[in-house]
């Protein structure tokens, strides 16, 4: 999984250069034509920046285009967002530098990014284009001429294989959601402990931790976690809070469970925060974890 994440980071950092290339062009803008590999790359980048799934698929090779269109709608959207490195569509402005190489500025609500193309290396039906992110990384994009048009072939030495990449990205997403769920258990535990110190008792339910009216913190709306966590559902996981121990407050303890809402898609690991504050985790095929499961270290159960 570590190698997958390293590759994803490189792919995302570099593909953003391709995610942002169409919009209002200044006077020295390059005329877009897919008969040239650099302008084809600028066009695919533009499609990703705009969030245009249909146009985006047009710049894959035939097999990759078929594989991309066969993905569920949400997966197509997320795959496109990985190329764009943005969860929201942006506006891309295409211009050129003094050597007439494309320069792409992507404007999004979260800020602007600029990407600069280098000289295209053309080898018959293959082309390689260096793209650098201002203040960031650089990588070569491989293009191949297919039926007279230039299509995306590779990033660096890695050939683009949408079917395989979709599987790897899905695995990486699951790992991220699992780590977030384990972290959420710790967040809930810290909030419950703070609630007990503040109000002298444990909360009856997670709902007591939810946000309330501004400057009106109370035992019923302690404003200690997000509304989603207080409702017991966040990031593809369901959270259950249980009181344990004696009848009086001095001997009362609690545990918290977290299970994937859609096993195999939103996560595989189930988690359990015991009365001592330790988080356990295991793949229990969607069933709850308990104190007999291994301690979760942050990346996997041990």
Q: What is the pLDDT of residues 131-172, one digit of tens each?
A: 887 777 788 889 999 988 999 988 776 667 777 777 777 888
Residue 79: inside a domain, yes or no?
A: yes
Any idea what the CATH number is for the domain that residue 41 is in?
A: 3.10.450
Q: What is the pLDDT of residue 293?
A: 95
73 and 119 together in one domain:
yes
Domain containing residue 50: 2-160
Q: Which long-range contacts (CB under 8 A, 24 or more apart) does 274-278 make?
A: 275/244, 275/245, 277/189
128 and 248 together in one domain:
no
64 and 121 together in one domain:
yes
Q: What is the pLDDT of residue 104?
A: 82
DSSP 31: P
* Cα 134 from Cα 20, distance rounded (Å): 13
The mean per-residue pLDDT over the stretch 7-22 comes to 36
Three-state DSSP at 191 gives helix
Is the whole-model pTM more than 0.85? no
11 and 153 together in one domain:
yes
Residue 6: inside a domain, yes or no?
A: yes
Percentage with pLDDT > 90 across the chain: 44
Per the structure, how many domains does the chain have? Answer: 2
17 and 156 together in one domain:
yes
Count CA within 13 A, CB hemisphere, residue 161. 7
Residue 296: inside a domain, yes or no?
A: no
10 and 148 together in one domain:
yes
Domain end residue (candidates: 107, 132, 160): 160
Residue 66: inside a domain, yes or no?
A: yes
In order, the DSSP letters of 195-263 are HHHHHSS--SSGGGGS--STT--BTTB---S-HHHHTTEETTEEEEEEEEE-SSGGGEEEEEEEEESSB
pLDDT per position as a tens digit, 163-201: 777 777 788 889 999 999 999 999 999 999 999 999 999
The owner of tokens 């593909």 is 15
């Amino acid at each position: 999984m570590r190698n997958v994440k390293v590759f994803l980071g490189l792919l995302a950092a570099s593909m953003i250069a391709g995610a942002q290339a169409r919009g209002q062009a200044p006077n020295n803008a390059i005329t877009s034509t897919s008969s040239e590999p650099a302008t084809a790359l600028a066009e695919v980048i533009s499609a990703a920046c705009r969030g245009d799934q249909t146009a985006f698929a047009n710049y894959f090779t035939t097999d990759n285009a078929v594989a991309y269109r066969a993905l569920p709608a949400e997966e197509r959207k997320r795959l496109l967002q990985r190329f764009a490195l943005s969860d929201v569509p942006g506006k891309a402005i295409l211009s050129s530098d003094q050597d007439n190489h494309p320069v792409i500025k992507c404007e999004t609500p979260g800020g602007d990014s600029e990407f600069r193309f280098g000289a295209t290396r053309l080898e018959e039906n293959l082309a390689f284009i260096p793209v650098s992110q201002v203040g960031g990384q650089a990588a070569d994009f491989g293009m191949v001429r297919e039926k007279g048009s230039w299509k995306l072939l590779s990033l660096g030495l890695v050939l683009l294989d949408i079917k395989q990449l979709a599987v790897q990205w899905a695995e990486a997403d699951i790992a991220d959601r699992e780590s977030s769920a384990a972290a959420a258990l710790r967040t809930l535990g810290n909030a419950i402990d703070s609630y007990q110190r503040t109000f002298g008792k444990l909360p009856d339910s997670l709902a007591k931790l939810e946000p309330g009216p501004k400057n009106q913190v109370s035992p019923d709306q302690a404003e200690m976690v997000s509304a989603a966590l207080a409702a017991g559902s966040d990031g593809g996981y369901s959270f259950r809070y249980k009181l344990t121990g004696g009848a009086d407050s001095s001997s009362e303890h609690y545990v918290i469970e977290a299970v994937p809402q859609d096993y195999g898609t939103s996560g595989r690991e189930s988690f359990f925060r015991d009365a001592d504050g330790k988080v356990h985790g295991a793949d229990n095929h969607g069933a709850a974890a308990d104190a007999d499961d291994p301690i979760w270290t942050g990346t996997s159960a041990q």
